[in-house]
Amino acid sequence: MSTKNLVSIVMPTYNAAKYIKETIDSIIGQTYENWELVVVDDCSTDNTIDIINTYDDARINLVKLSKNQGAAVARNTALQNVTGEYIAFLDSDDLWDKEKLTKQLSFMKENGYVFTSTDYAEINEAGEKTGTVIKSHPKLDYEGVLKYCPGNSTVMYNAKELGIFFIPDIKRRNDFVMWLQVIKKAKYVYGLPEALTYYRVREGSLSKNKKKLIKYQWKVYRDIEKLPLMKSVYLLIHKIYTVLKKK
Protein backbone atom coordinates (compact mmCIF):
# COMPACT_ATOMS: atom_id res chain seq x y z
CA MET A 1 0.00 0.00 0.00
CA SER A 2 1.63 3.22 -1.20
CA THR A 3 1.33 6.32 0.98
CA LYS A 4 1.35 8.52 -2.14
CA ASN A 5 -2.25 9.48 -2.92
CA LEU A 6 -3.39 7.19 -0.10
CA VAL A 7 -6.97 7.93 0.97
CA SER A 8 -7.62 7.40 4.68
CA ILE A 9 -11.27 6.63 5.39
CA VAL A 10 -12.57 7.64 8.82
CA MET A 11 -15.44 5.58 10.21
CA PRO A 12 -16.70 5.87 13.80
CA THR A 13 -19.18 3.12 14.64
CA TYR A 14 -21.55 2.06 17.39
CA ASN A 15 -23.99 -0.88 17.22
CA ALA A 16 -23.94 -0.91 13.43
CA ALA A 17 -24.05 -4.70 12.96
CA LYS A 18 -27.14 -4.45 10.77
CA TYR A 19 -25.41 -2.28 8.18
CA ILE A 20 -21.63 -2.22 8.56
CA LYS A 21 -20.88 -5.22 6.34
CA GLU A 22 -22.65 -3.57 3.42
CA THR A 23 -20.81 -0.34 4.18
CA ILE A 24 -17.36 -1.94 4.32
CA ASP A 25 -18.15 -3.96 1.20
CA SER A 26 -18.84 -0.69 -0.62
CA ILE A 27 -15.29 0.41 0.27
CA ILE A 28 -13.67 -2.88 -0.73
CA GLY A 29 -15.55 -2.65 -4.03
CA GLN A 30 -14.01 0.72 -4.92
CA THR A 31 -12.28 0.95 -8.29
CA TYR A 32 -9.63 3.03 -6.49
CA GLU A 33 -7.70 0.60 -4.34
CA ASN A 34 -5.08 2.75 -2.56
CA TRP A 35 -7.03 3.36 0.64
CA GLU A 36 -6.94 2.55 4.32
CA LEU A 37 -10.01 2.27 6.55
CA VAL A 38 -9.75 3.32 10.19
CA VAL A 39 -12.80 2.06 12.07
CA VAL A 40 -13.20 3.19 15.67
CA ASP A 41 -15.73 1.18 17.64
CA ASP A 42 -17.34 3.13 20.47
CA CYS A 43 -18.00 0.10 22.69
CA SER A 44 -20.70 -1.57 20.61
CA THR A 45 -22.92 -4.00 22.50
CA ASP A 46 -23.95 -5.95 19.40
CA ASN A 47 -21.68 -7.99 17.11
CA THR A 48 -20.28 -5.05 15.15
CA ILE A 49 -16.69 -5.97 16.09
CA ASP A 50 -17.20 -9.61 15.11
CA ILE A 51 -18.31 -8.53 11.66
CA ILE A 52 -15.32 -6.21 11.20
CA ASN A 53 -12.98 -8.99 12.28
CA THR A 54 -14.24 -11.26 9.50
CA TYR A 55 -12.32 -9.13 6.99
CA ASP A 56 -8.82 -10.32 6.16
CA ASP A 57 -7.61 -7.09 4.59
CA ALA A 58 -4.48 -5.27 5.76
CA ARG A 59 -6.03 -1.97 4.71
CA ILE A 60 -8.64 -2.21 7.48
CA ASN A 61 -7.55 -0.97 10.91
CA LEU A 62 -9.92 -1.49 13.86
CA VAL A 63 -9.52 0.62 16.99
CA LYS A 64 -11.66 -0.23 20.03
CA LEU A 65 -12.43 2.45 22.62
CA SER A 66 -12.31 1.31 26.25
CA LYS A 67 -15.56 3.09 27.11
CA ASN A 68 -18.45 4.64 25.21
CA GLN A 69 -17.56 8.28 24.52
CA GLY A 70 -19.61 9.37 21.53
CA ALA A 71 -19.08 10.04 17.83
CA ALA A 72 -16.81 13.07 18.25
CA VAL A 73 -14.26 11.18 20.35
CA ALA A 74 -14.44 8.18 18.00
CA ARG A 75 -13.90 10.44 14.99
CA ASN A 76 -10.94 12.18 16.64
CA THR A 77 -9.44 8.81 17.58
CA ALA A 78 -9.67 7.67 13.97
CA LEU A 79 -7.97 10.87 12.84
CA GLN A 80 -5.10 10.18 15.23
CA ASN A 81 -4.49 6.92 13.35
CA VAL A 82 -4.65 8.00 9.70
CA THR A 83 -1.59 8.03 7.45
CA GLY A 84 -3.03 9.11 4.08
CA GLU A 85 -2.51 12.25 2.03
CA TYR A 86 -6.28 12.50 1.65
CA ILE A 87 -8.99 11.94 4.23
CA ALA A 88 -12.53 10.79 3.43
CA PHE A 89 -15.40 10.13 5.81
CA LEU A 90 -18.01 7.38 5.74
CA ASP A 91 -20.64 6.70 8.39
CA SER A 92 -21.01 3.03 9.26
CA ASP A 93 -24.51 2.77 7.76
CA ASP A 94 -23.95 4.74 4.54
CA LEU A 95 -22.69 3.42 1.20
CA TRP A 96 -20.42 4.56 -1.61
CA ASP A 97 -20.78 4.12 -5.33
CA LYS A 98 -17.88 1.99 -6.59
CA GLU A 99 -16.45 4.99 -8.49
CA LYS A 100 -16.66 7.39 -5.54
CA LEU A 101 -12.98 7.58 -4.64
CA THR A 102 -11.76 7.40 -8.25
CA LYS A 103 -13.99 10.22 -9.44
CA GLN A 104 -13.61 12.47 -6.41
CA LEU A 105 -9.83 12.15 -6.28
CA SER A 106 -9.60 12.91 -10.01
CA PHE A 107 -11.91 15.91 -9.50
CA MET A 108 -9.58 17.24 -6.83
CA LYS A 109 -6.29 16.60 -8.62
CA GLU A 110 -7.41 17.88 -12.02
CA ASN A 111 -8.71 21.15 -10.55
CA GLY A 112 -6.24 21.66 -7.69
CA TYR A 113 -9.03 21.45 -5.09
CA VAL A 114 -8.15 20.60 -1.48
CA PHE A 115 -11.68 20.28 -0.03
CA THR A 116 -14.60 18.68 -1.86
CA SER A 117 -18.00 17.04 -1.44
CA THR A 118 -20.43 15.26 -3.75
CA ASP A 119 -24.16 14.91 -4.25
CA TYR A 120 -25.79 12.09 -2.30
CA ALA A 121 -28.90 9.98 -2.70
CA GLU A 122 -31.06 8.90 0.23
CA ILE A 123 -31.78 5.22 0.86
CA ASN A 124 -34.12 3.68 3.41
CA GLU A 125 -33.24 1.14 6.09
CA ALA A 126 -33.54 -1.68 3.57
CA GLY A 127 -31.03 0.01 1.28
CA GLU A 128 -33.62 1.03 -1.32
CA LYS A 129 -33.36 4.43 -2.99
CA THR A 130 -36.07 6.85 -1.86
CA GLY A 131 -35.79 9.04 -4.94
CA THR A 132 -34.40 11.98 -2.96
CA VAL A 133 -31.05 13.36 -4.13
CA ILE A 134 -29.32 16.13 -2.19
CA LYS A 135 -27.23 18.32 -4.47
CA SER A 136 -23.84 19.61 -3.45
CA HIS A 137 -23.14 23.29 -4.00
CA PRO A 138 -20.63 24.07 -6.78
CA LYS A 139 -18.58 26.29 -4.46
CA LEU A 140 -19.02 27.37 -0.84
CA ASP A 141 -16.93 29.57 1.42
CA TYR A 142 -17.17 29.80 5.22
CA GLU A 143 -20.41 31.79 5.09
CA GLY A 144 -21.86 29.24 2.69
CA VAL A 145 -20.95 26.27 4.88
CA LEU A 146 -22.65 28.00 7.82
CA LYS A 147 -25.87 27.66 5.79
CA TYR A 148 -25.30 24.45 3.89
CA CYS A 149 -23.38 21.66 5.61
CA PRO A 150 -21.85 19.15 3.16
CA GLY A 151 -22.98 15.55 3.60
CA ASN A 152 -20.54 13.86 5.97
CA SER A 153 -20.04 10.70 3.92
CA THR A 154 -19.41 12.74 0.77
CA VAL A 155 -16.48 14.82 2.02
CA MET A 156 -12.80 14.43 1.15
CA TYR A 157 -9.96 16.82 1.90
CA ASN A 158 -6.23 17.00 1.23
CA ALA A 159 -4.58 16.42 4.61
CA LYS A 160 -1.11 16.86 3.15
CA GLU A 161 -2.01 20.46 2.29
CA LEU A 162 -4.41 21.31 5.10
CA GLY A 163 -3.36 19.10 8.02
CA ILE A 164 -5.51 17.12 10.44
CA PHE A 165 -8.51 18.71 12.15
CA PHE A 166 -9.89 17.60 15.50
CA ILE A 167 -13.24 18.59 16.94
CA PRO A 168 -14.65 19.43 20.37
CA ASP A 169 -16.67 16.74 22.15
CA ILE A 170 -20.11 17.75 20.93
CA LYS A 171 -22.72 14.99 20.73
CA ARG A 172 -24.42 16.16 17.56
CA ARG A 173 -23.34 18.23 14.55
CA ASN A 174 -19.69 17.31 15.12
CA ASP A 175 -19.23 16.81 11.38
CA PHE A 176 -20.54 20.36 10.83
CA VAL A 177 -17.99 21.68 13.34
CA MET A 178 -15.22 19.88 11.47
CA TRP A 179 -16.16 21.31 8.06
CA LEU A 180 -16.23 24.80 9.58
CA GLN A 181 -12.65 24.24 10.75
CA VAL A 182 -11.51 22.88 7.40
CA ILE A 183 -13.15 25.66 5.37
CA LYS A 184 -11.30 28.34 7.32
CA LYS A 185 -8.03 26.97 5.98
CA ALA A 186 -9.17 25.62 2.61
CA LYS A 187 -11.19 28.81 1.84
CA TYR A 188 -13.61 26.90 -0.40
CA VAL A 189 -15.32 23.52 -0.67
CA TYR A 190 -16.17 22.42 -4.21
CA GLY A 191 -19.06 20.11 -5.07
CA LEU A 192 -18.82 17.27 -7.56
CA PRO A 193 -22.29 17.16 -9.17
CA GLU A 194 -22.84 13.42 -9.07
CA ALA A 195 -24.54 11.25 -6.42
CA LEU A 196 -21.64 9.02 -5.37
CA THR A 197 -22.80 8.46 -1.80
CA TYR A 198 -25.94 6.80 -0.44
CA TYR A 199 -27.16 8.20 2.86
CA ARG A 200 -29.28 5.84 4.92
CA VAL A 201 -32.31 7.47 6.56
CA ARG A 202 -33.02 5.53 9.75
CA GLU A 203 -35.83 5.84 12.26
CA GLY A 204 -34.42 6.89 15.63
CA SER A 205 -31.11 8.13 14.21
CA LEU A 206 -29.52 11.30 15.56
CA SER A 207 -30.20 13.15 12.32
CA LYS A 208 -33.91 12.27 12.42
CA ASN A 209 -34.42 14.18 15.68
CA LYS A 210 -34.84 17.62 14.16
CA LYS A 211 -35.53 19.45 17.45
CA LYS A 212 -32.26 18.29 18.98
CA LEU A 213 -30.40 19.04 15.77
CA ILE A 214 -31.68 22.62 15.89
CA LYS A 215 -30.53 22.89 19.51
CA TYR A 216 -27.03 21.75 18.60
CA GLN A 217 -27.01 23.94 15.50
CA TRP A 218 -27.49 26.92 17.83
CA LYS A 219 -24.71 25.63 20.07
CA VAL A 220 -22.35 25.53 17.11
CA TYR A 221 -23.19 29.09 16.09
CA ARG A 222 -22.95 30.64 19.54
CA ASP A 223 -20.66 28.49 21.70
CA ILE A 224 -18.19 27.14 19.16
CA GLU A 225 -18.11 29.66 16.30
CA LYS A 226 -18.85 32.62 18.63
CA LEU A 227 -21.13 34.27 16.09
CA PRO A 228 -23.09 37.43 16.98
CA LEU A 229 -26.60 36.91 18.32
CA MET A 230 -28.51 38.35 15.36
CA LYS A 231 -26.41 36.46 12.83
CA SER A 232 -27.02 33.25 14.78
CA VAL A 233 -30.77 33.91 14.80
CA TYR A 234 -30.73 34.52 11.05
CA LEU A 235 -28.76 31.33 10.40
CA LEU A 236 -31.03 29.28 12.65
CA ILE A 237 -34.14 30.54 10.87
CA HIS A 238 -32.48 29.73 7.56
CA LYS A 239 -31.69 26.22 8.81
CA ILE A 240 -35.25 25.61 10.03
CA TYR A 241 -36.58 26.84 6.68
CA THR A 242 -34.33 24.50 4.70
CA VAL A 243 -35.30 21.54 6.92
CA LEU A 244 -39.00 22.27 6.47
CA LYS A 245 -38.54 22.84 2.75
CA LYS A 246 -36.86 19.44 2.44
CA LYS A 247 -39.96 17.81 3.91
Residue 158, number of CB atoms within 10 A of its CB: 21
DSSP state of 203: T
Q: What mean pLDDT do residues 89-103 have? A: 97
Residue pLDDT, tens place only, 187-218: 999 999 999 999 998 775 544 556 777 888 89
Q: What does the alpha-carbon distance between residue 99 and residue 115 come to, in Å, rounded to a whole number?
A: 18
* 241 vs 153, residue with greater confidence: 153
Mean pLDDT, range 231-237, rounded to an integer: 93
- The most confident of the ranges 109-118, 167-176, 215-224 is 109-118
Q: Is the dihedral of CA 93, 99, 102, 106 positive or negative?
A: negative
165-189 pLDDT, tens digit each = 998 777 777 889 999 999 999 999 9
What angle do the packed helices 229-246 and 210-219 form, to 10 degrees? 150
For residue 56, the one-letter residue type is: D
- Measured in degrees and rounded to the nearest 5, phi and psi for residue 118 equal -135, 170
Measure the CA–CA gap between 173 and 84, rounded to whole angstroms. Answer: 25
pLDDT at 206: 45
Bridge partners, residue 189, by sequence: 140
3-state secondary structure of 219: helix
- What percent of the chain shows pLDDT beyond 90? 77
Look up residue 105 and give its DSSP letter: H
More confident residue, 211 or 22: 22
Q: Which residue has the higher pLDDT, 48 or 239?
A: 48
User: Is residue 154 over pLDDT 80?
Assistant: yes
Question: Is the overall model pTM greater than 0.95, yes or no?
Answer: no
Question: Average pLDDT in the 3-23 region?
Answer: 95
Average confidence (pLDDT) over 111-137: 94
